[in-house]
Amino acid sequence: MADINSIITNAEIIRSRRKTVALQIAEDGHLIVRAPMRCSSKDIIAFIEKSEKWIQTHTDKVLQHNRELEQLEPFSEQDIHDMAQKALEVIPERVKFYAEKLGVTYGRITIRNQRTKWGSCTSKGNLNFNCLLMTTSPEVLDSVVVHELCHRLHMNHRLHFNRLCNKQKHLLIFILRVV
């Protein structure tokens, strides 16, 4: 791992209207610092220095994950197509099942091959899911479906959304045990 001065020099600093400073390790292992507009460079550097152990631990995890990914065979176009077809069969059934339990409606369901998201929900109620969900366990798939359906009631990730989502995920665990 690079020394703290190198980390600070190579850090990407993104200022926005947020209220707190947050750290993120990018896929390539470099540090991203998200900070409020008025946060001084001195305060950002102090935060990075205070977080050196966290940075090292998470950078190591990202780099190890990258090494593991390099060992895997990439999916072929046929693999992606097959997963998308399977997703078109499986996911709408799961959405219908959990939408009834939540008492929500939804619009169109779209299956995509996305790089960073498992799913999303538009303000119009359209649901998007990653075809790579077909490589996960049924519990993970259902958890993503429940998460996106909870957005039909709360289009954010604030307290009320998280409470609803956690409550529904506990219900999901109960349903999976009974079935």
Strand partners, 110: 128
**Between the CA atoms of 32, 37, 40 and 41, what dihedral angle is there, to the nearest 10 degrees?**
30
For residue 113, give its domain range.
Answer: 77-178
Per-residue confidence (pLDDT) for residue 176, from 0 to 100: 54
Are 12 and 26 contacting, i.e. CB atoms less than 8 angstroms apart?
yes
Same domain, 89 and 108: yes
Given 22, 44, 71, the domain boundary residue is 71
Same domain, 167 and 82: yes
Tens digits of per-residue pLDDT, 26-46? 988 899 999 999 999 999 999
- Give the Cβ contact number of residue 48 at 10 Å: 20
Tens digits of per-residue pLDDT, 83-133? 999 999 999 999 999 999 889 999 999 999 988 899 999 999 999 999 999
- Which residues lie below 8 Å from residue 74, measured CB to CB, with a gap of 6+? none
Total number of domains constituting the chain: 2
Same domain, 82 and 159: yes
d(CA 15, CA 99): 38
Same domain, 100 and 171: yes
pTM: 0.65
